[in-house]
A = this chain, B = another copy of it.
Amino acid sequence: MPATYAYLGPEGTFTEVALRTLPETATRELLPMVSVPAALDAVRAGEAEAAFVPIENSVEGGITTTLDELVSGEPLMIYREVLLSITFALLVRPGTRLEDVKTVTAHPAAQAQVRNWMKAHLPDALWESAASNADGARLVQEGRYDAAFAGEFAAARYGLVPLETGIHDADNAQTRFVLVGRPARPAAPTGADKTSVVIWQRDDHPGGLRDLLGEFAVRGVNLMLLQSRPTGEGIGNYCFAIDAEGHISERRVAESLMGLKRSCLKVRYLGSYPRADITDAASDALPSPLSGTTDAEFVAAAEWVARCQDGRFPD
């Protein structure tokens, strides 16, 4: 297995910055790919050990692409997630002043984060979209635009300087990235984990999705994300990508997944891995499981049923 991590390139984007927060990258070759599908294909083809791609709350696009790629094709699994706070810098060629900026560029997804700032500081500048924020910086270097919104870290790579930093319309703007590999044993439970799964409904009827969510609800498993994704069989045909609290090694999660497996046309397990939003599993940030849903209570209930089956102590 090659000691290589593919990632959504080019170099100098937020994805690379997030990837480098993983300690093991010190001993891996990091391989920028032109697209999320290309990065995941490298894993499927055995050319990379894992792929690192954005999956949520994009400032660089590619998010639904990531989900759609995980949903279809050869199965892959998620082993890690990383959260990165996103703020932009306005990168210009040395010597450019704010009043000189007539044209700006960035990936389209960046626009949602910088729109208010632009209205206030560059109300007359013309926006044009770039294929990535890094590509926008390159186009400024080439003189095609006056300024690019990108991560401050991209300045040096393209010979630019940050005219303004810390630009972000929404506080708490973050992107979530995942490290994806071929199916293997999930990471060990930490006490603050999430489980990702994709479900395809057997048929579609009023209450159908509610009943599938009931598989989690009756076992006290909270949902963190629910995303309908097209199945590729035309508009109106969806599967659902779900992130649930907990690890498949916990009985409440395992039994919920069993319930989905029985009730759905198809289920794809995408992995159980540590939550990046909880840094200290022992902290108060994590609510304790609902009464009746701990592993100990599952075990006790199974033992009670076994006793009833034997006619011993039925209450």
Flag the segment in A24-32, A90-98, A156-164, A201-209 that touches B: A201-209
Given the interface contacts A109-B65, A174-B235, A228-B227, does A258 sit within 8 Å of B129 by beta carbon?
no
Given the interface contacts A226-B226, A298-B262, does A234 sit within 8 Å of B174 by beta carbon?
yes
A42 vs chain B, min Cβ distance (A): 13
**Does A230 reach chain B (CB closer than 8 Å)?**
yes
**Dominant secondary structure at the A interface:** mixed
* Interchain CA distance A269-B232 in the complex, whole Å: 28
A213 vs chain B, min Cβ distance (A): 4
A270 vs chain B, min Cβ distance (A): 7
* Interchain CA distance A54-B192 in the complex, whole Å: 37
**Does A62 reach chain B (CB closer than 8 Å)?**
yes
A193 vs chain B, min Cβ distance (A): 13
When the two chains form the complex, which single residue of B69, B225, B309, B315 contacts A268, counting CB atoms closer than 8 Å? Answer: B315
A308–B248 touching, CB < 8 Å: yes
Best-surrounded residue of A171, A207, A248 (most CB of chain B within 10 A): A207
A222–B248 touching, CB < 8 Å: no
When the two chains form the complex, which single residue of B109, B259, B269, B309 contacts A254, counting CB atoms closer than 8 Å? Answer: B309
* Interchain CA distance A20-B98 in the complex, whole Å: 39
* Interchain CA distance A141-B209 in the complex, whole Å: 48
Nearest B-chain residue to A212, judged by Cβ: B210
* Interchain CA distance A314-B108 in the complex, whole Å: 28
Best-surrounded residue of A183, A198, A221, A305 (most CB of chain B within 10 A): A305
**Does A102 reach chain B (CB closer than 8 Å)?**
no
Cβ–Cβ < 8 Å partners of A258 in chain B: 298, 301-302, 304-305
When the two chains form the complex, which single residue of B107, B170, B215 contacts A232, counting CB atoms closer than 8 Å? Answer: B170
B309–A248 touching, CB < 8 Å: yes
**Does A191 reach chain B (CB closer than 8 Å)?**
no
A61 vs chain B, min Cβ distance (A): 6
Could you list which residues of chain A lie within 8 angstroms of chain B, going by C-beta atoms?
34-38, 56-58, 61-65, 68-69, 75, 77, 83, 107-109, 111-112, 115, 126-132, 135, 170-174, 176, 183-186, 198, 202, 204-211, 213-228, 230, 232-236, 238, 240, 248-249, 254-255, 257-259, 261-263, 266-271, 277, 290-293, 297-298, 300-302, 304-305, 308-315
